[in-house]
Amino acid sequence: MTEIIASVASIEQAEALMAVGVDTIYAGEDYFGLRLPHSFDRTELADLIKVVHQAGKKIQVAVNAIFHNDRIVHVADYLNYLAAQNVDRVTIGDPGAIRILQKEALSLPYWYDGADLVTNSRQVNFWAAHGAQGAVIANEVPYKELQALVPNLEVPIQILTYGAANIHQSGRPLLTNYFNYVQTYQDRMDREKGLFISEPRKPETHYSIYEDINGTHVFATNDVNLMPRIQAVYDLPITHWFLDGLYADKIGFVKVAKAFVQARDLLAQGQLTSMIVADLDQIVRANQPQNREVDTGFFDIDPADVK
């Protein structure tokens, strides 16, 4: 059965997402996790976990930050907290954090999330041999490479089927440095500010950018929407679909999730047609924020053209 995972901005949104059929809620605290719609402190997270489990759903917590020495010393305590809360699984990308998880001998399954480093089956299987129960595949892996990759996997992978695609992260405060250099005051540089950058002489580029505790994050011009190619995703097969509401409208994201749940269910029944896909794709597009377009990201790009 295909599992649909969705990031959340609040407990209320989590309840709405689960009501339309989302299987797993993705959340975390930005001290330990990257690019989250909301940073849940421990009290909030405990409440969210309780709500998710009462609904008979699963909770996946992000522990995929890039940890320097000053922060990795807090990882063991956080992992113990998550284990005590009966979190269903965590995503981790830092080998040091994985080592801590194993040394603590916690009953806490993990999926490897090395961001854009996870591009081949050998790496996924390497982490499977070191305890990972799955892996998050890089956004830059096209369909033609996935066709060769998936049959050789020993554990399942998660793919971004909807949402903003991160293309760069720096641990440095690049926005702060830039505005200091040009001597322009900015009251805030977080995601809600809506900042973006463009390439020189390419006005069509519109890379969303923001700064937080983990540094500076840059996203592709268009958000990913694999609804037009969802049959291909299903047939590969990739069984874990991630919907990221980072830049989505809070209410519209629930409607988007419902469309992907409908596609998943119809695929399982062998009843998904091209006409239904087109209708569901229209739902996704109709609920996209006005200043954000969608496409299939790297999925349909020839591997030779990935730069």
Domain boundaries, the chain: 3-165+224-305, 174-212
pLDDT band at 102 (very low <50, low <70, confident <90, very high): very high
30: left (phi over 0), alpha (psi -120 to 50) or beta: alpha
Dist CA 102 CA 100 (whole Å)? 5
Mean pLDDT for 209-222 is: 92
Which of 134, 141, 121, 150 has the alpha carbon at shortest distance from 296? 141
Tens-place pLDDT, residues 250-298: 999 999 999 999 999 999 999 999 999 999 999 999 999 988 999 999 9
Q: Which of 26-40, 118-132, 169-183, 222-236 shows the lowest per-residue confidence on average (mean pLDDT)?
A: 169-183
pLDDT higher than 70, residue 307: no
Check whether the bond before 95 is cis (ω within 30° of 0): no
Dist CA 43 CA 21 (whole Å)? 26
pLDDT higher than 70, residue 99: yes
Q: Using only the alpha carbons of the chain, give its radius of gyration.
A: 19
Count of C-beta atoms within a 10 Å radius of residue 289: 13
Dist CA 97 CA 28 (whole Å)? 15
- Strand (E) positions, the chain? 3-7, 24-27, 58-63, 89-92, 110-112, 134-136, 157-163, 166-170, 196-199, 202-212, 215-219, 223-225, 240-243, 294-295
Tens-place pLDDT, residues 221-252: 999 999 999 999 999 999 999 999 999 999 99
**Percent of the chain clearing pLDDT 90 (strictly above):** 83
Dist CA 176 CA 297 (whole Å)? 29
How many Cα atoms are found within 13 Å in the side-chain-facing hemisphere of 183? Answer: 0
> What is the DSSP code (8-state) at residue 117?
G
Q: What is the 3-state secondary structure (H, E, C) of 59-83?
A: EEEEECCCCCHHHHCCHHHHHHHHH
Q: Is the pTM of this model over 0.85?
A: yes
The CATH code that applies to domain 3-165+224-305 is 3.20.20.60
Dist CA 226 CA 241 (whole Å)? 10
> What is the DSSP code (8-state) at residue 151?
G
Question: What local confidence, expressed as pLDDT, does residue 206 receive?
Answer: 84
Mean pLDDT for 118-129 is: 97
Tens-place pLDDT, residues 170-190: 888 888 887 876 777 777 888
Question: What local confidence, expressed as pLDDT, does residue 289 receive?
Answer: 93
Phi then psi dihedrals of residue 170, to 5 deg: -125, 140
